[in-house]
Amino acid sequence: MCGIVAWFSSSPGPELPETGREMLNRIVHRGPDESGQAPVGDKTWLGHNRLSIVGLADGAQPLAGPRGWAMVCNGEIYNDAQLRKSLRQYRFGTGSDNESALALLAEHGPQALDRLQGMWALCAATPDGRFVAARDRLGIKPLYWAETDGTVLFASEMRAFPIEVQPLVAAFPPGCWWTPEDGLVRFAEAVTPAEVDARDTERRTREVLVDSVLRHLMADVEVGVFLSGGLDSSVVAAVAAQEYARRGARLKTFSVGTEDSPDLAAAREVARFLGTDHHEAVFDTAQAIDVVDDVVASVESFDAGLIRSAVPNWFLAELASRHVKAVLTGEGADELFAGYGYYHEQHPAPGALRRELVRTVGLLHGLNLQRCDRVTMAHGLEARVPFLDTAVVTHAMSLPDEVKVLGPDGVEKSHLRRAFTGWLPGSILWRRKLEFGSGSGAEDLLTPYWERRVSDADLSANRDAQVRSKEELSYYRAFRRALPRIRPRSVLTRFAVA
């Protein structure tokens, strides 16, 4: 996993290469292993900070391709092997999975990017002035951009942009590519419908998830699992632990919480059952408050729910980064299999549940995926999300609403639980959902702390900041300290999609 920076300018000035280098320096935490940069012709500059996961010896970027193509990419291409077989005319020069994205682009143009399976954001260019920027269909990997004085700047995080450009920064939309000639073009939707065999859907759900987890273990380094003790991360850990045992190794798992938090207890039970090499991070109020500024600056948001879960995630990523360079997480399962209570309370009409699930899957890039990426990358750790693999999303979103409604006992995600019967202890398989901020104990520490320290008058005086609570006001102030000129809740692009 990495951090990328690029700029394209029809009339570049002498200050732009230095601007690119300064932007790259601001996100060095995303790729502490090595840094690369290069001009491409006289209109483009590409920069890359690398966290080495695949192709350790020869995966430095910018990657070079035929006809002068050069590319920087942040991500993992999980169908790299299949793409290499289909691109036999292309002479691959490295073992980097990212090179298959460059090969696809160089041979078939940006129209072919929908063939990539994985999480990625890229910028590529040629010396004669061609330029392409693109982002995966769900926005699992971040990309931001801004246009100023005829120059378009790109970076993996908002904090990379010069302060004078920050008011212009917007999220590059998922599933789109951009060229100077064609503008912004959509190549893939977040959710693509497909026909599902109504027979034995639990078996098919299990098969598609097992296949995804195995592909997400692709790496030249050891991969661990974030284990909260909830259903989603426990399913991922169960599949990964079985694969590691087949290799004659023990999977490393990591959990976090306050001393008596339910997540820590549940994670221990799962780890014992699976026989993993388990590690814990325990935090208290003082430690949680102490990292809030760093967490808000990293997540680049002040949404209270997001920060409340990002704080324990910070300690978790810090712990895991001391043992592995990549982890699998359970992100996305709730949005695919209707894990949140409000889905069932507010969307009971036929078809309404699916519409809401499609909507929330499409918003993940600005919420949980943003938190997941930033907190892990702040510690030089790659987070992978097997539930959000294209095949899993397509399968899950094609299941009928009846499969995802609450079971007779009112437990959510009954279909997913039944699909993995026997893989986990019954107490975990049917454990009711707790959101991460609650299960880890962070909510019980943070919310009362800020309620005591922010007055009603102070909250009323700051309503124009779009904050909804005293806790959120505290995070908003930290957000302003870190990103003084970024537009709040900047998740929409200013550029029209063709």
Residues designated as active site = 2
- Rounded CA-CA distance 143/134 in Å is 8
- Report yes or no: 115 and 83 within 8 Å, Cβ to Cβ: yes
Spell 234-262 as b/e; 16+ CB within 10 A means b: bbbbbbbbeebeeeeeebbbbbbbbeebb
- Rounded CA-CA distance 272/278 in Å is 9
256 is in an annotated binding site: yes
Three-point CA angle 370, 52, 7, nearest 5°: 60
DSSP bridge pairs for 148: 151
Query: Count of residues for the chain?
Result: 498
Number of other CB atoms surrounding residue 18 within 10 Å = 10
- Pick from 207, 202, 265: nearest CA to 234: 265
54 is in an annotated binding site: no
* Token digits of residue 363: 């918003």
Known binding-site positions: 97, 256
Known binding-site positions for L-glutamine: 97
Known binding-site positions for ATP: 256
